[in-house]
């Protein structure tokens, strides 16, 4: 990044306007395993999409509720997270971590 392109935060927020970039950013946060990182990244995505007021409106939440959800100490419920992701053009996806692993039964 050159000197005239602005700060890293500005660069990041600009990149996060793209749904594929948002998805990659949040997936990387999920891989980290720290819920606080995921919530901070959701906060960045909210800023990139037009701010918490816009996102709260689109997610049918109060701004106060949204702020509580994406705060670093937040503990959002699945339903609220899906409501926040939807206006950003995102959704949760489950993916296998181990391929071709034989199913082991407890009673076998």
Q: What is the pLDDT of residues 8-18, one digit of tens each?
A: 999 999 999 99
What would the mean pLDDT of 24-29 be, rounded to a whole number?
Answer: 94
Instruction: Tell me what pLDDT residue 89 has.
Output: 92
The pLDDT value given to residue 99: 58
Q: Is 107 helix (H, G, I), strand (E, B) or coil?
A: coil
**59 vs 36: CA distance, rounded Å:** 21
Mean pLDDT of the chain: 84
- Asked if 16 contacts 44 with a C-beta cutoff of 8 angstroms, the reply is yes
- With a CB cutoff of 8 Å and minimum separation 6, the contacts of 83 are 59, 60, 61
What confidence category does residue 28 fall into, taking pLDDT thresholds of 50, 70 and 90?
Answer: very high
Q: Where are the alpha helices (DSSP H) in the chain?
A: 8-15, 19-32, 35-48, 52-59, 63-70, 78-85
Contact 23, 90 (CB under 8 A): yes
pTM attached to this predicted model: 0.75
């Amino acid at each position: 990044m050159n000197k005239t392109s602005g700060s890293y935060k500005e660069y990041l927020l600009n990149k996060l306007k793209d749904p594929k970039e948002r998805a990659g950013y949040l997936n990387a946060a999920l891989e980290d395993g720290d819920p606080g990182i995921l919530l901070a990244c959701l906060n960045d995505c909210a800023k990139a999409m037009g701010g918490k007021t816009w996102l709260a409106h689109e997610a049918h939440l109060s701004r106060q509720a949204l702020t509580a959800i994406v705060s670093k100490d937040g503990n959002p419920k699945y339903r609220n997270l899906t409501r926040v992701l939807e206006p950003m053009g995102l959704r949760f996806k489950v993916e296998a971590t181990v391929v071709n692993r034989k199913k082991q039964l407890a009673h076998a």
